Amino acid sequence: MGLKRRRAVRETPPPETPPVITGPRALVTIDALGRKCPIPIIMLAERIGEVPVGEIIAVKADDVAARTDVPAWCRMKSQDFVWEETLPRGWAFHVRRNY
């Protein structure tokens, strides 16, 4: 009795689904993808004044340091870190302007 070879079965990855919005939408989105910290923070600090008080600004970044730097900046500057969105490449950090 001979042994039968098993065929390799290729698993096809699931189709990419669009990101699911789970928090308030941003009025302004800063694209800092490909930039290393502290550049995403500097961009946020320069542009947060573009949104009215109480509104949301988002920063897209793929540097892992931004995951701690953006919430820390919000605490230092008394802004609200609202939520973090996972993107196909990096994250979007949503910040509510308080003043």
Taking CA 28 as the corner, what is the angle to CA 27 and CA 29, rounded to the nearest 5 degrees?
130
The catalytic residues are 37
Q: Is-contact 97 78, C-beta < 8 A?
A: no
Dihedral (CA of 72, 99, 23, 13) sign: negative
Q: What is the CB-side half-sphere exposure of residue 75 using CA atoms within 13 A?
A: 5
Q: Is-contact 75 47, C-beta < 8 A?
A: no
